[in-house]
Structure 1
C-alpha cells in the first residue's frame, strides 16, 4: 500500500476515538526532541568549564582536559548506531510512540548522571568513568531518537507536506540546542569563571533531566503512525533492513557524511573553534552561537516548504557544493571580533539549511515502512558517529598538532563526497510514501 503521505495523517480517527491532529503530532515530536537534544548539546557548550574538573591536566599542556572531554563526546556518538538499531527495531516492531517515550527517559537519566559526576580531585579515575557511562546512555538514547522521530514526523505528514514536517526535526533539535546555548551563555554572564568551574556547569544538566520528564508526559498523548497493515504484519528482524536493503543503507551514509560534519562544525564546535584558534571570548562565543541558532531555526520550515515545491535534490546540491567551496574561506574569516564570528556562523547556517530542512524526509523516503526506523537509524547514526561526533575532537587535535588550518579542508572534502552522492540521488519528493 502506498500514498503521498500517511493515509490517516490529520484525517482518520484512531482506535481511541480521538481525531488525529497534525499539531498534536508535531508537538509531541518537537517538544520531546527539543528536550532530548538540549541534554545532548549542553555537554559541548559547557565542555570548556568542566574539563579541568573531570580530567587531570597533562604536563605542560592545557589542551589535554579539553581534548579528553571532546573524546568522551565522540565516545557517546559511537553508542548512537547501537541506539539507532535497537530503538529503531522497537519502533518498527512495537510502534513509533513506545520508542519515542523510551528514548527520552534514557536521555533524562544520562543528563542527571552528568550533573552528579564527581570531580577528579574528589574521586580520581571514577570521575571520567561516570562521565563516560552517562554519555554512553545519552548516545544510546539520541541514536534511537533520530530513527523514531524522523519516521514519526514524515509518516504524520499529509500529501505534499513531507518536506515541511521533515524540517521540524531540526527546528526542534535547534530549539533544544538554542536553549542549551542560551542557558550556558546566561550562566557564563551571571557567574564568575570560578563559579562556573566549581558548580555552575552542573545546573544545565539537572534542568535537562526535568525537561526530559516534561517531554515524556507530552509524548504519551501522541498517536501511533504505523498503519493497521504494519501492525498486523509479522515483526521484522533486528538486522532485516541491513540484510535486505544494503544499497539503501549505504545511500543513507553518503547522504549524511557532508551534512553531519558541516552541522556539528557550525552548530556545536564553532564557538570552541573561535575560542581556541582566534582567542575569542568564551561568553561572547556562546552568545554568537545562540543568535545564529535562532536564525537557523527560522530557516528550517522555509527550506522544507521549498523542497515540497522544487524537490529535495536542488537543496542538497546547493548545500554540499556551497560548503565544498566556502568552508575554507569562511573559517578563515574567524577572528576575535564579534561581527566576524556572527557573519561566518549565519552564512554557514544558510548553506546548512539545504541539508537539515530535508534530511528527515530524504531518509524516510529511502526505506519501506516495515523497516523504516531501523533502516534509517543504524547507517545514519554510524555516519554521524564517524564524522559528526569526532568533528570537535579532530579540530582540537589539528590545533594541538600545529595544523589548525587543516580542519576547514577536512570539512570541505567530506561535503564534496556528499555532493557526488546527491548528483546521483533520485528525486523522491513526488513519489508516494510507502505505508
Structure 2
C-alpha cells in the first residue's frame, strides 16, 4: 500500500473517533478527558492532512520524472510494455486508453488512486503519469491527446465514413472554416490587341464547429476488477468503446439533419438536384440507368473524385450481388470484393431500410469522401457510473447496478461536412431486397 493510502486510512480512523465524540457531545456534556481527546484528535487530523498533501505532491513528482525500465544508458527508449519473451502477449492498439478506463472505473474516477494502481499493477509509467497529470473537467477525465489520437486511428477501419477516405483536421478553438470555389474563372482565347476578359471566382465556406458526441459503453465489472495488464481484457474494452463511437459517427455523418448540436450528414448535404429516385422496375436496364445517373451527378459537376465511394445498407448490397444476367452470370461480381463500377462500397446498418411511406425503402449514397472533412475537437473525456441506467438495442431500460456493470461515458467533439456539395449524390426510394 502506498504512503498516501496508509495516511488516508489512519486519518479515517481518527475521524471516526472524532465523529463519535461529536455525536456524544450532542446528547450530553463531554468530560474533561473527552474534551482533551477531542482537541487532540483535531490536531492529529490536521497534521495528517498536511502530511497527505506532501505525500501526494511527492508521488506526482515521482510519476512526472519516472523513466521506463526499457530506457537504456543512452536514453533510447522502445515502446512501453514491449519487452517480450517468446510467449509474452503483445500489447494491443489503444491499450493505454483501455487501461485508463479500467483503472478510473475501478476507483470511480479517483485519479490518484488509479495512478497508484497503475504503478503497482505494472500498467506502465506513461499510464500512471497520465493519470497523475491530467486535469479532471466538469464532464469527466480528459484523455491525453496522444492516447485519444491512437483511439481515433482505431476508428478508421470501424467507421464506414472514416474508412472511405474522409480527411481529418483539428478544430482550433472548436471551429474551422474552409473556403471553397463555388464558381470558377472563365478562360478565353484572345487575339492581338484584345483586352483579356475580366473574370472572377465566387467563394463559399464550409464551416465546421464542434458538436458533442456522447457514447454510453457498458462494461462488465468482472473485466474492470481484473487488475493485471491483459491484452485480451484491454482489447475487449477498446473494441466496445470504438464500436459504440463508430456506429454513432456513421449514423450522424450519413443521416443526421444537422443543427446547433448535430452534425449534418451526407443525405442532408446533398443538393436537391443530386437526389436520384430509384426506378419502380428492378430489371437490369433500369438498375443500370439508375446507378449511372447517380455517378453522372458527380462526374457532370466536375467533382474532384479524389476518393469516391458508395455507402449502402447490407440488404441493398446483397440484392445487387445476387443479380444475374440472361446467361446466369453475376451482373456485379465485383461486389464480392466490395466494389461497384470501379469504386469501393461501404456497408453499414446506419443506412436505414425502413424509410418511405410504407417503411420499406432505403438509400444509396455516392460521395467523394476525399472532398469531405471531419473536424476533430479537443481530446476525449471519459466518465463513469455503476448506478445509472441505459437503453439496450431493443429499447429496454437496463440497470447497470443490477447487471453488475459500469457505464463508461465517452465524450468526443467533432463536426462533418463536404467542401463541395456537388460531391454528394443520393439514390432514394430503394426497395431492392425487400423480399430477402
> TM-score normalized by structure 1?
0.23
Bigger Cα Rg: 2
> TM-score normalized by structure 2?
0.22
Q: Which has the higher strand share?
A: 2
